[in-house]
Amino acid sequence: MFLSVFDMFKVGIGPSSSHTMGPMVAAARFLDELRASPFEFHGLRASLHGSLAFTGVGHATDRATVLGLAGFIPETFDSVKADAAMAEIVRTKTVTPEGFGALAFDPRNDLKFDFGPNLPGHANGMILMATDAQGDVTYQQTYYSIGGGFVMTEAELADGKDTDEGDPVPYPFKSAAEMLEMAKIANKSIAEMKRTNEIARGCTESLRSGTARIWQVMNDCINKGLTHDGILPGGLNVRRRAKGIHDALLAERGMNLNAPHTINDWMSVYAMAVNEENAAGGQVVTAPTNGAAGVVPATIRYYLDHVPGATESKVEEFLLTSAAIGGLVKFNASISGAEAGCQAEVGSAAAMASAGLCAVMGGTPEQVENAAEIALEHHLGMTCDPVKGLVQVPCIERNGLGAIKAVSAASLALRGDGQHLVPLDACIETMRQTGVDMSEKYKETSLGGLAVNIPNC
């Protein structure tokens, strides 16, 4: 099992990795399949199923699908160009992705939200179709957006191709127990093992520059969120709060007015800044998803700005450790809110962040595993019930609280010796089982929880 640090942390666009990025990635894959086909195509169609239908409008799934079919990809997404392209597509009822002439595609008629049963493979299903000159479907592919921007076709999912198939890596741990055993035998940290695995897969020079870029985008996102105010899009009239809170925190600095718990406001405000940017459709890093994108950056920023002796040279170690933990959660359970509720998103993010912080503060592999376990354990059972299908309430504040739990968990773990009762593997399996048992109402459908109990929403 190998998931690169650059699989866990991908530059993308808001508001959702599974509902915005995933469909755009699926559309790009579909266009590649059409390009490789010997046949000629004249038009495109798409249908969205399960959670992609139920919360698709709030998560901009429709827009992401249309733009994806027009050739946009998350990595280079430009919102100004996208707005212009959308207007043109609506006007001409065609898309013109690279390598094709104009393909008939009227977003009002050719993109359907199917509110029937989920497709069999996953709660986030979509079918993309290509038509001939008569408008008959001559090629189609079913894709599943399985969380964190990862996409699989129906056949890949059936083959269990969610696992890596490349060359073997030196430390192929599939569980936390294996990870600790390998660390002990090799006398290496989790980050050192992860780094060795990445290098074995050909990532050498690019590892340093790639992780530096990931942190740069994360930090830029925090800074943008701390300077933007106003109302978030989507109709819920949620006011951006990060800037106001940050301004107040800066004004109070050095005045000796604050209770010690004010440090929590700093952690919250960094995370909220990211998630407000995400909700506004800005550029974020999936960590491991967009909905949970604030927890890891907020914890890194807390470390750099508030922990004495912290240094930016340790951010790579932080990200590698986080990615190792995120890979274990993804491989053995889920990082998808549509599959297992918010425990899989903010819970996973908190486990990753806690592990990263524990590592850069000198934690042993056992303490790092303990930190991840504490953070995940205290998110178990958490549902996903976004109001109006928007990644705003409860998501924005929830990332702040996720960061606070991550820091607390790392701190608790560092005060121990790494010995603890609940192994991380047991906690991950509990999360998986809880996700299986969880009602569909609480898995990113907005059919239960806060989504149905807020007046006038």
Contacts with ligand SF4 by CB under 6 A lie at 291-292, 337, 342, 345-346, 384, 386, 391, 394-395, 398, 444
Pick 25 or 292: Cβ nearer ligand SF4: 292
**Contact predicate 131/138, CB 8 Å:** yes
Shortest distance, position 222 Cβ to ligand SF4, whole Å: 17
User: CA dihedral in degrees (157, 52, 239, 342; nearest 10)?
Assistant: -40
d(CA 86, CA 70): 9
Q: Is the dihedral of CA 248, 254, 257, 258 positive or negative?
A: positive
Decide whether 34 or 340 has the Cβ nearer to ligand SF4. Answer: 340
Paired tokens of 10: 């991908």
Three-state DSSP at 229 gives: coil
How near is the Cβ of 15 to ligand SF4 at its closest, in Å? 8
Nearer to ligand SF4, 156 or 397 (CB): 397
Minimal distance in Å, beta carbon 312 to ligand SF4? Answer: 28
What's the number of CA atoms in the CB half-sphere (13 Å) around residue 401? Answer: 14
Phi/psi for 152 (5° steps) reads -135, 150
**For ligand SF4, the closer CB: 4 or 334:** 334
What tokens were used for 323?
A: 């990615």
Nearer to ligand SF4, 54 or 72 (CB): 54
> In whole angstroms, how close is the CB of 52 to ligand SF4 at the nearest point?
13
* Cα 205 to chain centroid, rounded: 25
d(CA 23, CA 64) in angstroms, rounded, equals 6
Q: Report the residue number, 7 or 385, with the smaller CB distance to ligand SF4.
A: 385
Q: Which has the closest alpha carbon to 14: 222, 277, 230, 307?
A: 277
Task: Give the three-class secondary structure for 240.
Answer: coil
Q: How far is the CB of 21 from ligand SF4 (least distance, A)?
A: 13
Instruction: Give the containing element (helix H, strand E) for 95.
Output: strand 94-95
149 or 386: CB nearest ligand SF4: 386
Residues 6+ apart with CB under 8 A from 257: none
Q: What is the 3-state secondary structure (H, E, C) of 256-324?
A: CCCCCCHHHHHHHHHHHHHHHHHHCCCEEEECCCCCCCCHHHHHHHHHHHHCCCCCHHHHHHHHHHHHH
The distance of closest approach from Cβ of residue 54 to ligand SF4 in the complex, given in angstroms and rounded to an integer, is 12
Nearer of residues 97 and 347 to ligand SF4, judged by Cβ: 347
Give whichever of 125 and 386 is closer to ligand SF4, judged by the CB atom.
386
**In the complex, minimum distance from the CB of residue 346 to ligand SF4, in angstroms, rounded to a whole number:** 5
Q: How long is the chain?
A: 457
How near is the Cβ of 100 to ligand SF4 at its closest, in Å?
A: 34
Quote the least distance from Cβ 75 to ligand SF4, whole Å.
21
